[in-house]
C-alpha cells in the first residue's frame, strides 16, 4: 500500500508550491515611466521584486516534492520488478506524464523568475519616445501554477499505481534446482 506519510508530505509541498506561484503571479513587477527634470530624461521605475523570490520558492518546493516521489518509488526503474497488470501500465503512463508536467512547471517558474528580475536601465531624452519598460508577461506564473496542480495530481496517482503494482508481484518461492528426491 502507498505510504500515507509520503502522499501527505508531497501534497503539502505541492500545495505550498502552488500557493507561491499564484502569489507570484499577483505580485509581478510593474514599471512606470518617470521623468528626471534635472537631466531631461525619462527612465523606468520598477516596483517590488517579490515575485522573483516567490517563483524561486515555488520552483524549489515543487522540486523537493518530485524528488520525494521519485525516491519513494525508486524512480520507477530501480528495485524489484512490478507485476504485469493494469496498475503497472498506469504507473508507466503516469510516470511519463508526471515528468512532462513537472518540466513544464519548472520551466515556467524559472523563466518567470528570471524575466521578472530583469529590469531595463534605458533612459531617453524627453523629445524621443518613452523608454521600453519591459516586464514579465501576465500568466507565466499562472501557467506554472496550473502545471504544479497537474503535476501534484498525476504524481500522487503515479505513486499509488506504482505501490499497487509493487505489492501484487508474485514472489518466487520455489527452488532453483530440479527436484530429484523422489527418484532413488
pLDDT at residue 136 is higher than 80: no
pLDDT value at position 179?
59
Instruction: Tell whether 128 is covered by a domain.
Output: no
Q: CB–CB of 113/142 below 8 Å?
A: no
pLDDT value at position 42?
72
> pTM surpassing 0.75?
yes
- With a CB cutoff of 8 Å and minimum separation 6, the contacts of 118 are 134
Q: Which three cell numbers stand for residue 9?
A: 508530505
Instruction: Tell whether 125 is covered by a domain.
Output: no
Instruction: Tell whether 153 is covered by a domain.
Output: yes
3-class DSSP state of 58: helix
Residue 103: CA count within 13 A, CB half-sphere: 6
pLDDT value at position 166?
80
Burial of residue 58, with CB atoms counted within 10 A of its CB: 0-12 exposed, 13-18 middle, 19 or more buried: buried
pLDDT value at position 26?
87
What does the pLDDT look like over 45-70, one tens digit per residue? 777 778 889 999 999 999 999 999 99
Select, from the ranges 42-46, 89-93, 132-136, the one with the highest average predicted confidence (pLDDT).
Answer: 89-93
Gap between the Cα atoms of 128 and 131, Å rounded: 9
Gap between the Cα atoms of 154 and 156, Å rounded: 5
Range of the domain at 113: 4-29+47-118+137-165
Q: What are phi and psi of 175, to 5 degrees?
A: -85, 160
3-class DSSP state of 166: helix
Q: Which three cell numbers stand for residue 13?
A: 509541498
Instruction: Tell whether 103 is covered by a domain.
Output: yes
Domain count, the chain: 1
The CATH number that applies at residue 156 is 1.20.120
9 or 165, which is more confident? Answer: 9
Amino acid at each position: 500500500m502507498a505510504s500515507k506519510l509520503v502522499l501527505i508530505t508531497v501534497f503539502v509541498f505541492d500545495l505550498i508550491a502552488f500557493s507561491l506561484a499564484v502569489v507570484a503571479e499577483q505580485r509581478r513587477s510593474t514599471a512606470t515611466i518617470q521623468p528626471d527634470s534635472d537631466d531631461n530624461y525619462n527612465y523606468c521605475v520598477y516596483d517590488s521584486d517579490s515575485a522573483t523570490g516567490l517563483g524561486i520558492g515555488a520552483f524549489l518546493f515543487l522540486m523537493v516534492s518530485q524528488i520525494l516521489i521519485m525516491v519513494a518509488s525508486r524512480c520507477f526503474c530501480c528495485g524489484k520488478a512490478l507485476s504485469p497488470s493494469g496498475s503497472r501500465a498506469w504507473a508507466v503512463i503516469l510516470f511519463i506524464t508526471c515528468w512532462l508536467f513537472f518540466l513544464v512547471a519548472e520551466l515556467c517558474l524559472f523563466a518567470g523568475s528570471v524575466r521578472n528580475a530583469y529590469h531595463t536601465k534605458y533612459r531617453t531624452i524627453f523629445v524621443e519616445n518613452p523608454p521600453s519598460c519591459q516586464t514579465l508577461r501576465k500568466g507565466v506564473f499562472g501557467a506554472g501554477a496550473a502545471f504544479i496542480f497537474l503535476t501534484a495530481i498525476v504524481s500522487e496517482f503515479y505513486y499509488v499505481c506504482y505501490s499497487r503494482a509493487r505489492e501484487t508481484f508474485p514472489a518466487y518461492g520455489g527452488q532453483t534446482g530440479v527436484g530429484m528426491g523422489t527418484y532413488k
